[in-house]
Structures are given as structure tokens and as C-alpha cells.
A = this chain, B = another copy of it.
């Protein structure tokens, strides 16, 4: 049961540090670009992008929350901002009266279009410039299993202990 390694070897440590450093820089740069080009936070961009990708341009609040935001109220807050800005619309779902369907507006798609070229430019120039096509494919092959593993791992790993009474 090698579920909880007691240490990381130097190579693992290096990978972990590099991963954090690289994504921090990337994210920070991308956030600036999104803010300047379209007055969007990264989370807002992610939400818009998800809606824009959907065939219907819509998603339920709950579906949007998964993976983008970690609390319901956080999503309500962000959806409220997007709606106030006219980039999305919220309406009760037809089938389930409890649900809210969020739909991207034309203005939302336009904003996305405003922001995307610069976004691609930053990601391409910062992340992919030093990588060959083979490198990118290798990276894809390495990240996919990690991603799948994390998706299938409940957040329990965060708090393995301290779980005796009412929590």
C-alpha cells in the first residue's frame, strides 16, 4: 500500500517545484492579459470559455462549479458579476425548477473573442515556445494520467487524520 510516501526523491521534488513555479508565472501573466484585454479574472474567463464551448452556450450552475470554483457561493458571486456585465444570463431550468441555467450572451462571446488572441499568444509564447511537437505530445501523455487520477481522487487526501467525531 504505497499510498502515502514518506518522502520525495530529488527528481520528484524538482518536478513539484518546477510545476508550481511554471504555472504560477503562467497564471499570473495570463491573469494580467485577461484583465487588460477584457477586464476578466481567470475564473470568469474559465466560466465564459466553458459556456462558449458548450453547443447550447449553457450550463447548469452546479456543472459550472465543478472544477472551476470550489464553493457554491463563489460561483454565485462570479456568475453575478458576469451577469451584471451582460456577459451571461441566468434563468430557471425548464426541467428542474431548482436549477439555474447560465447562458453566454452575444456580448459574452464578443468579450471572449476580444481576449482569446492575446491569451493564446501568452500561452504560446510562455509555455510552448521551448517545447517541440514531440515534447508537447510527451507532456500530454504524462499529464493525462495525473489529471485522471486527481479527478478520481476525492479530496480526502487533504485531511487523512482528524476525523473522529462530527465532521
Contact = CB atoms under 8 A, between A and B. Distances in A.
Interface of A: 2-8, 11-12, 14-16, 18-23, 25-29, 32-33, 36, 67, 70, 117-118, 120-131, 133, 135-140, 142-150, 153, 155, 157-160, 162
B130 A146 contact: yes
Given A139-B142, A157-B125, A21 B147 contact: yes
Interface centre among A7, A12, A147 (most CB of B within 10 A): A12
Contacts of A3: 125, 129
A142 B142 contact: yes
Binding site of A, secondary structure by majority: helix, strand, loop or mixed?
helix
Contacts of A150: 21-22, 25-26, 126
A16 to B, nearest CB: 6
Contact of A11 (B124, B136, B142): B136
Given A21-B147, A27-B20, A123-B16, A6 B159 contact: no
Contact of A144 (B4, B18, B129, B162): B18
A128 to B, nearest CB: 6
A116 to B, nearest CB: 9
A140 B11 contact: yes
A130 B147 CA distance: 9
A22 B70 contact: no
Contacts of A5: 120-121, 124-125, 128
A10 B121 CA distance: 15
B4 A140 contact: no
Contacts of A25: 150
